[in-house]
Amino acid sequence: MELQQIGLKHPAADLVRDVRGNRAGIPRRSFVAEGLFEINMVLATNTTVDVFLWCPEAAYSDESAKRARELAERARRSYQVSARTADRLAERPNPDGLICVARLPDWHPGDVALGADALVLVADGMEIPGNLGTLIRTLDACAADCLVLTSKRTRLTHPKVLRSSQGMNMKVPSLEFAETGDAIGWLAGNNFTVYLADTEDSINYRQADFRGRTALVVGSERYGISPPWYREGFQRIGVPMLGSADSLNVAVSASVLLYEARARKDNW
């Protein structure tokens, strides 16, 4: 595979750095993937590849060379870089000679097929990328239908979201609503029963009725769920706290609720 050799001053290298820094002017929903695991997720999903950088010197397996050829065919632009350049651009050690700038699929409400028993998680104002990535990984694990983002404070393309979701942010559909009222309207229009994850004035999560379409709302790590959700009068559900702490990590509590909903829907 013959590719043009470039260095650190090339615009493609600049793009890698700009995307990592979330600088203005980068293509929407862009992220950097590197290493075999992330690259395999890019190739297995409907993910656009803008730039691919290949370093044969840093490849540790025949699979790397195979994936490099596949990426070069899909990418809009492909280049070869030296081991020194790859090392300067990579965020993780030993990325198998594979670095690319890709874009998450851009899902819209009409793109998500909702069955009669659909399960959705709403992340309202979530701030910590690692928590958001963990939630996305859990959504995939329990076969939820999609993630809904409101009052967004962290981006789906953050490197920590990619790592903690194990690349599932490329696979799990995500809908972003600029206005909370639009998300509430979408849920109402699709006949969802909405539950707010809150220990105050709540029922035990084991008592909730998870039949039909269900949406679970979790909030910011610092501030909880935003006021517009409470104004709708949705039922609150909570996980009992039996020790001294007054709350669980948001990703942990959401996982408990999601798996309870899935178990009840599927009659485990």
What's the mean per-residue pLDDT of the chain?
A: 93
Do 16 and 22 touch, CB atoms closer than 8 A?
no
pLDDT, residue 123, reads: 96
For residues 63 and 111, the model is more confident at 63
Q: Which residues pair with 53 in a beta bridge?
A: 79, 99
pLDDT, residue 243, reads: 85
pTM: 0.90
pLDDT at 199 over 90: no
| Topology given in CATH for the domain delimited by 109-265 | Alpha/beta knot (3.40.1280)
Q: How many CA atoms lie within 13 A of 200 on its CB side?
A: 4
**Gap between the Cα atoms of 14 and 64, Å rounded:** 24
Strands 48-54 and 98-103: antiparallel
pLDDT above 70 covers a percentage of the chain that reads 100
Do 139 and 109 touch, CB atoms closer than 8 A?
no
Architecture of domain 4-103: 2-Layer Sandwich (3.30)
Q: Is 130 helix (H, G, I), strand (E, B) or coil?
A: helix
State whether the Cα torsion 124-129-135-139 is positive or negative. Answer: positive
Average the pLDDT over 51-80 and give the result.
95
pLDDT, residue 25, reads: 87
Per-residue pLDDT of 11-49, as tens digits, reads 999 999 999 988 988 888 999 999 999 999 999 997 999
- Give residue limits of the domains in the chain: 4-103, 109-265
pLDDT at 133 over 90: yes
Per-residue pLDDT of 216-265, as tens digits, reads 999 988 888 999 999 999 999 999 888 887 777 899 999 999 999 999 99
Strands 48-54 and 77-80: parallel
Strands 30-34 and 98-103: antiparallel
Indicate the helix (H) or strand (E) that contains 101: strand 98-103
pLDDT, residue 74, reads: 95
